[in-house]
Amino acid sequence: MLSWKREQSRIRDWIRRLHIYAGLLTVSSLLVYGIVGVTAMLQDDPAKRLRPVPQITFQEFTSPANLSDVDLANLIMTRFSIPLANPIPDWAIKHDKENHLVLDYYSVNSMTRVTVLETERKLKFEANRVGILEFLNRIHATTIRAQVPDLRVRGWIYYNYVSIWFMLFMTFSGLYLWLTSRPGWRWAQVSFASGLLLFCTLYWAIR
């Protein structure tokens, strides 16, 4: 009996340690998630938000012959080092009314629209840098499925992914630590029960 209690106490100490380490390791993403969540709830309707004026520049460029639109998009992305840009899938490539190729490069920092003006041998760049809150929203939403070549973004993607698993672990380990330390504490019981009841009621009501 005593050895079982000792063993339980040891397991509990380890879980508490891992709970602490998981929290310390992922505190940056936890703060990002919290800020993004608060912003999402308090922000205006997207249709009412002010759109920034894009920064427009032109660059000399001659499109190589016999290149597909996707390959051209990738060439432009690398030649002009569009920062943090995602490769454009073929379904997202479009043409404007004058049949110019229009390429929208999305990144966590901006949206850069490139219009290929073939006859003028130029590219028109319209860069819209997003604000800091939208940037945090985009990085929080960048999942492991994103095909982003940039190492900075890839590094964040892996950290973000690990944080999701750690968040799950911290929730369950937190519940375990409560149940093995102060299960009888009335405030804790009320807090858990009321949160669970609120969630279930809201879920059932909206379902």
Partner 1 sequence: MLRNVHLLLGLFCSCFVLMYAFSSLQMSHNSWFPTKPIVTESQLKLPPYLDARAASRLLMDQGLRGEMMQVKLSATNIQFRIQRPGTVYEIAYDLQSGQTQVKTNRVGLVGMLNRLHHINGLRHDYALLNLWSSALLFTSLTLIALGLTGICLWFKFHKERFIGGVILGLSLIYGLGLILLMRSAS
- Give the binding site for partner 1 (CB under 8 A): 17, 20-21, 23-38, 40-45, 83-84, 107-109, 132, 135, 139, 143-145, 150, 152-153, 155-156, 159, 161, 164-165, 167-168, 171, 174-175, 178, 182, 187-188, 191-192, 194-196, 198-200, 202-203, 205-207
6/106 Cα distance (integer angstroms): 55
Name the 3-class secondary structure at 147.
coil
Are 166 and 25 in contact, with CB atoms under 8 Å apart? yes
Least distance to partner 1, CB of residue 28, Å: 3
Least distance to partner 1, CB of residue 204, Å: 11
147/143 Cα distance (integer angstroms): 9
Single-letter amino acid, residue 68 = S
Least distance to partner 1, CB of residue 84, Å: 5
Least distance to partner 1, CB of residue 88, Å: 18
Nearer to partner 1, 42 or 53 (CB): 42
Residues 6+ apart with CB under 8 A from 8: 180
Name the 3-class secondary structure at 167.
helix
Q: Provide the angle, in degrees to the nearest 10, between the axes of the packed helices 151-181 and 186-206.
A: 130
Nearer to partner 1, 22 or 101 (CB): 22
Least distance to partner 1, CB of residue 39, Å: 8
Nearer to partner 1, 33 or 100 (CB): 33
193/183 Cα distance (integer angstroms): 12
Nearer to partner 1, 31 or 67 (CB): 31
Nearer to partner 1, 19 or 101 (CB): 19
Give the CA radius of gyration of the chain. Answer: 25
